[in-house]
A and B are shown apart, each in its own frame.
Chain A
Amino acid sequence: MLNLENISKTYNHRHEPLTVFDGISYEMLDGDFISIVGPSGSGKSTLLLMLGGMMSPSSGKVVIDGESIYDLPPNQRAEFRRQKIGFVFQTFNLVPYLSALENVQMPLFLAGLSEVEQEERATSVLERLGLGARLAHKPSELSVGQQQRVALARMLANDPTVVLADEPTGSLDPETSAQVMDFFEEINQEGRTVVIVTHDPTVAQRAHKTLRLGDSRVPYDEQTPVWASVV
Chain B
Amino acid sequence: MRLRKLVWKELFERKNQVVTGLLAILLGVTVIVAMRNITFYSEKAVAQELDALGANILVLPKSVTLQNYYSADIQGQEFPEEYVSRLANSNIQGVDNLSPKLAIPVQLDNRKFTLTGILPKSEFQAKSLWQGAGIFSRPTGCGTVANIPGLTPKDPKETLVRKRVIDTLNENEILVGADVAGALGVKANDNLSLLGKSFSVAAVLPQTGTVDDSRIFAHLHTVQQLSGKGKVLSVIEIVGCCDQISKGLVSKINHLLPETKVVTIGQIVDTQIKTNQMMSSLSLVFIAIIVLVGGAGIANYMYANVRERRREIGTLIALGAGSGFVLRMFLYKAILLGLVGGISGYLLGTLLALLLGPRIAGIAVLPMPTLIIWALMISVIIAVSASYFPARSAARLDPCTTLQEI
Contact = CB atoms under 8 A, between A and B. Distances in A.
Is this pair of chains taken from one and the same complex?
yes
B77 interface: no
Nearest to A107: B319
Interface of B: 1-2, 6, 9-10, 12-13, 311-312, 314-325, 399-400, 403, 405-406
B399 A95 contact: no
Contacts of A110: 316, 319-321, 325
Interface string A117-148: 01000000000000000000000000000000
- Select the residue from B318, B400, B405 with max chain A CB neighbours within 10 A: B318
A48 B319 contact: no
Nearest to A118: B1
Contact of B406 (A74, A154, A166): A166
A155 B385 CA distance: 36
Contact of A54 (B1, B13, B317): B317
A115 interface: yes
Contacts of A18: none
Interface residues of A, number: 39
Contact of B9 (A55, A98, A197): A98
A106 interface: yes
A96 interface: yes
B319 A75 contact: no
A108 B317 CA distance: 13
Contacts of A158: 320
A79 B322 CA distance: 8
A109 to B, nearest CB: 4
Interface stretch (A60-68, A86-94, A179-187, A215-223): A86-94
A28 interface: no
B13 A106 contact: no
B309 to A, nearest CB: 9
A107 B311 contact: no
15 contacts: A75-B322, A75-B324, A78-B317, A78-B320, A78-B321, A79-B320, A87-B319, A90-B406, A93-B318, A96-B13, A97-B12, A98-B6, A110-B325, A154-B319, A167-B405
A45 B13 contact: no
Nearest to B12: A97
A54 B318 contact: yes
B324 A97 contact: no
Given A45-B400, A82-B320, A95-B315, 4 more contacts: A48-B406, A106-B319, A166-B405, A166-B406
A137 B315 CA distance: 20
Nearest to A76: B322
Contact of B400 (A54, A78, A109): A54
Interface of A: 45, 48-49, 52, 54-55, 74-75, 78-79, 81-83, 85, 87, 89-91, 93, 95-98, 102, 105-111, 115, 118, 154, 158, 166-167, 170, 197
B307 to A, nearest CB: 15
A71 B121 CA distance: 95
Given A105-B1, A109-B2, A167-B405, A97 B318 contact: no
B1 A109 contact: yes
A89 B315 CA distance: 9
Contacts, number: 87
Contacts of A96: 13
Contacts of B9: 97-98, 102
Nearest to B8: A97
Contact of B403 (A79, A93, A97, A109): A93
Contact of B315 (A52, A79, A93, A115): A93
Given A90-B405, A93-B315, A93-B403, A81 B1 contact: no
Given A106-B1, A115-B1, A91 B317 contact: no
Nearest to A97: B13
- Select the residue from B318, B320, B321, B405 with max chain A CB neighbours within 10 A: B320
- Select the residue from B9, B400, B403, B406 with max chain A CB neighbours within 10 A: B406
A108 to B, nearest CB: 8
Given A82-B320, A95-B315, A109-B1, A54 B405 contact: no
A99 B9 CA distance: 10
Nearest to A79: B320
B406 A82 contact: no
Contacts of A111: 320
Nearest to B399: A54
B12 A89 contact: no
Contacts of A118: 1
A105 B12 CA distance: 19
B400 A107 contact: no
A89 B399 CA distance: 13
A49 B316 contact: no
Contacts of B6: 98, 109
B406 A49 contact: yes
A93 B309 CA distance: 11
A197 B1 CA distance: 31
A85 B315 CA distance: 13
Contacts of B322: 74-75, 78-79
Nearest to B402: A93
B320 A107 contact: yes
A105 B405 CA distance: 24
B316 A106 contact: yes
Nearest to B14: A97
Contacts of A55: 400
A142 to B, nearest CB: 16
Contacts of B325: 110
Pairs A-B, 4 closest by C-beta atoms: A82-B320, A97-B13, A109-B1, A78-B322
A110 B399 CA distance: 16
Nearest to B315: A93
Given A105-B1, A106-B1, A166-B406, A95 B312 contact: yes
B208 to A, nearest CB: 64
